[in-house]
Every structure is written in C-alpha cells, then in structure tokens.
Amino acid sequence: MRERLVISVSGKGGVGKTTTAALLTRIVTEKTKRDLLVVDADPVMNLPRALGIDVPKTVGSIATKLRRDIDEGTYSGEVTKQDVLEGEIYEALIEDPRFDFLAMGRTEGEGCYCYVNRLLTQILDTLSQNYEITLLDMSAGLEHLSRRTNRNVDILIIVVDPSRAAYEAALRIRDLAKEVHIEFKKIVVIGNRFPPEIEADLRSQLEIEGLDLIGMIPNDDELSKVNYRGVPLFELDEESPAVKAVDQIAEKLGLLGEVTLLKLLGQE
C-alpha cells in the first residue's frame, strides 16, 4: 500500500508557518511526483498568495450555506447533509497541475457548528486518503487543536522564531496535542530566522523537552523581497538560503526520497 502522510504546520503567530508550508509545497512538487493535497486551515488565508493560486470558494463558505439552509428550513433533506457537503467540497478543491488545494476559510454566524465541523473533519479525513501527502497550514491560535480539525496527524511540525513566546507556544502545542489525543507519530521543531549563535542553545533546550529540532531556516533577504512584491515563493531563486534549508528539511522528513515513515520513526 502506498504511504499516506498527513503533515501539519503549527506555531505562534507570525513565526513562519505559511512560509514553511509554501516552501515544502514547492520542494515536494519540484522534486517528486507524489500526489499532494495542500490545505490552508487558517481563516486568514495567506497561503494562496504564497503559492500563487486563486481561491474562489472555501469550505467555510460552503459549511455556512449548509448551516443556513438547515436553520431556515430550505434544506430539503433528500440527500444527506454529508453528501451535500462532500459534493460541494469537491467543487472547492482546486486542481493545480502541481498539487491540489483546499482552503478552509471561515464559517460565519453565531452558535455551534459542532455538527457541520464534525462532518468536515470526516470528509477531510476521507479526502486525504486520496493523496500521498496532505500538508496543512494551521492558524496561529490553539483552538484548532482542541477542535481536532487536524486529527490523525502523522508529522506535527512546530515552527519557532527567536522569541520566548514562540518557544513557550511550541511546548503548549505539544502538550495540548497530547491532551486532546491527536495521534501524531512524530513531532518536530523548525527554527526560523535564528541568529546562528543561539541555535545550539535552542537545540539543547528542545532536547531536554524531548523535542527534535529538524532544521533551521535562516533569515532570507531574497524571501523578504519576493514577499514584499507579493510574488509566489515558487519564484524564489533555488539557491536562496530559505529554499535550500527547506529542501534539507523535506529530505529529513522523508518527503523526497525512498525514506519511509517507518524508517523515519526508526522502526525499519
């Protein structure tokens, strides 16, 4: 059976989650033929620009409509709600030649979306079965962890920048993920924009916490320029430090070569 990997990128606000997700997308699509589903799970939706794609429809807008139809009684109920959602979500799926893309967007309105959210989680779980790699760019808050929108995550990537708040958020994310029983197989940390002289310190602190520092992305002026111009990260020079760093990280995560998840976990 082909391997299915679900990878989620978490961390405090502004630490570089979207940048990491976009660069991983670029590396995987450029270097492999693996089927990739990229999910923007952050309602703010920065990932489409970083990838250079347009998003006409989000899952959130579809769920909002379904909820409204249920509330107003216009939902006929002839087809199950799950079927309605499933069908519409396939419509929201963007099929770029390089990867498929789904934006979660936001759900509008008051009250509990528990039912619709539960359906969405199920549908996403099913959808991700069709891809070798599902990559989720998460929002900065921690609510998604308690809502378990990213359950069954294989690799939980936590990005930290050189700030105490980012470090503490990383530990909190780790603890929360365990508390709510998200069944991740591996947790790794990526340090973004660290001055080289504090890298060793970060590594040893994380080691004490039992967390693996899988790589560092240096501060990259070329990335700033591209980002300032609003140009997709696919256009960043392949020799730029951030691209090279994420390339190495992708390799270590076993996304490029023959390395399997079992190998990654040291079970093979």
Ligand X SMILES: Nc1ncnc2c1ncn2[C@@H]1O[C@H](COP(=O)(O)OP(=O)(O)OP(=O)(O)O)[C@@H](O)[C@H]1O
Q: Which residues bind Mg ion (CB under 5 A)?
A: 17-18, 46
Q: How far is the CB of 205 from ligand X (least distance, A)?
A: 20
- Cβ atoms < 10 Å from Cβ of 192: 24
Residue 223 binding ligand X, by CB under 6 A? yes
Number of H helices, E strands in the chain: 11, 8
From candidates 5, 6, 10, 17, binder to ligand X by CB under 6 A: 17
132 vs 199, which CB is nearer to ligand X? 199
Site for ligand X contains 227 (CB under 6 A) = yes
Three-point CA angle 61, 62, 63, nearest 5°: 90
| CB closer to ligand X, 88 vs 101 | 101
42 binds ligand X (CB under 6 A): yes
Residues 6+ apart with CB under 8 A from 186: 154, 155, 156, 212, 264, 265
From the list ligand X, Mg ion, none, pick the one residue 16 interacts with, judged by a Cβ distance below 5 to 8 Å according to partner type.
Answer: ligand X
On the CB side of 257, CA atoms within 13 Å amount to 10
The one of Mg ion, ligand X, none whose footprint includes residue 15, by CB under 5 to 8 A per kind, is: ligand X
Closest approach of ligand X to the CB of residue 266, in Å: 29
What is the DSSP code string of 146-167? HHTTT-S-SEEEEEE-SSHHHH
Nearest to ligand X of 88, 220 (CB atom): 220
Shortest separation between residue 161's beta carbon and ligand X, angstroms: 8
Q: What share of the chain is helix, strand, coil (3-state, %, to 5)?
A: 45, 15, 40
Taking CB under 6 A as the binding criterion, the range among 63-71, 91-99, 207-215, 221-229 that sits at the site for ligand X is 221-229
**The token pair that represents 37 in the structure block:** 């589903």
- Residue 258 CB burial class (10 angstroms; 0-12, 13-18, ≥19): exposed
Contacting range for ligand X; rule: CB under 6 A; set: 16-24, 62-70, 95-103, 143-151: 16-24
Say which amino acid occupies 173. Answer: I
Q: What is the DSSP string of 182-221?
A: ---SEEEEEEES--GGGHHHHHHHHHHTT-EEEEEE---H
217 contacts ligand X (rule: CB under 6 A): yes
Question: Using CB under 6 A, which residues numbered 155 to 184 contact ligand X?
Answer: none
Position 61 contacts ligand X (CB under 6 A): no
Which of 149, 220, 240, 246 contacts ligand X by CB under 6 A?
220
Q: Which residues bind ligand X (CB under 6 A)?
A: 11, 13-19, 42, 46, 140, 192-193, 217, 219-220, 223-224, 227, 242
